[in-house]
Amino acid sequence: MLLKKVLKILIPASCAGFAVWFGAKTIKQYCCRTKGRATERNCKEEPPKEIKVLRSKMDDESPSEYFRKRSAAILAAKSAHKFIDEFVHKYNQLDVGQFSEEKVSVAGRIHAVRESGFYCLRGNLTKIQVFVDARSYQSLNFNEDVDKIKKGDIIGCFYMAYADYEDLMSITEDMLSGMVQSIHGTLKINYQPEGPDGPIEQIDFTPPYRRMKIIPELEKRLEVSLPHPSTFDTPEAVELLDLLSTKHDVHCPPPRTAARLLDKLVGHFLEEECRNPTFLIDHPQVMSPLAKCHRSAPGVTERFELFVGKKEICNAYTELNDPFEQRKRFAQQAKDRAAGDDEVQLVDENFLTALEYGLPPTGGWDMGIDRIAMFLTNSTNIKDVLFFPTMKPVRKND
């Protein structure tokens, strides 16, 4: 019952930013539609108070702007639905457990790519999963067991025009603290990271949350002055970061680029201190290729990651809307990829072209819904909060 209550609040709240794109004027209407059985009675229900801050922002949208967005969403949906119908008709003869090795292009057809390695579409009550071909990823071990908290992430995200990362931090604080108060009746909850028989740790969701600037905090713990963030991609800076990682026994497998070394150092020294909700802010540009340059601190970006119980649950930043700067970032990423880093952002010419047409100042936000559900339900394995965890198919003759 507690998990049901958590998800009832979490999922509508996290998806609130997409309300207008799906033809719902308000978050209240959107929540009703996502139930799949919209009725007059359902649509009279009041939404959880935790999302009212988002609802108020979207209800202020002008009718003309709402009509423009809705029209564009309908046109996009028609194309996607046609593709789904054709896809279902073509592959509907496959039995449970069967698969086709035919190459299928889904580029531009769907709205989300999941890190777990497959695309998930829904059409005519049919769920379609188009898996990636592991043979195309020689450097990855697809048979390796994943961490308990990374299996099948459910991501809630939104983009907000004319908002920056400061706005998104305020929204995140209000939403999380409101959810915790609504579910538990208090802002302090107990969590047992080692299981029901392990020690109890208290997590305090009382805002404002602690904010840690990455570079100054790293310098305090390393007891050394780091190079200026704008020079982190130079050989001298990479060499220093390499030496510091070796000195403090921070493991970083090759390629030991500046971005990877910094990420490992942050994980070793800063993330381990983030038991209560903590924002790690102002990431160096080499770590954030899509985030906007900080308005007053050269070399860093307007980005934050929210950690709870030493686990990342939220990532957000002011979107980089300068196509020329974005191309430079992609060029740096290409150098890292040439050095062997397969996880970096690829050069996206279509994205660059879109930026050249124009993108207003925008804040982008995403949260691991299943991760925060773990904390709110005192679960230690992510499968405990998934409705449909990965399971073996039931065969007809079983």
User: Quick one: angle between helices 214-222 and 258-269, nearest 10?
Assistant: 70
CATH 3.30.930.10 positions along the chain are 155-385
The pLDDT tens digits of the residues spanning 332-388 come to 888 888 888 887 878 889 889 989 988 889 999 999 888 899 999 999 888 888 776
pLDDT at position 231 over 90 = yes
- Residue 347: the pLDDT is 86
The burial of 147, by beta-carbon neighbours within 10 Å (0-12 exposed, 13-18 middle, 19 or more buried), is given as: exposed
Who's near 385: CB < 8 A, 6+ residues apart? 3, 6, 7, 370, 373, 374, 377, 379
Q: What is the pTM (predicted TM-score) of this model?
A: 0.65
pLDDT at position 27 over 50 = no
- Residue 175: the pLDDT is 93
CA distances in angstroms from 342 to 10, 53, 141, listed in the order given: 33, 39, 13
Top CATH class, 155-385: alpha beta
Who's near 188: CB < 8 A, 6+ residues apart? 202, 203, 204, 205, 206
- 30: tokens are 């959107």
Which phi-psi region, left, alpha or beta, contains residue 354 (left: φ > 0; alpha: ψ -120 to 50)?
A: alpha
- Residue 159: the pLDDT is 87
The pLDDT tens digits of the residues spanning 297-307 come to 999 999 999 99
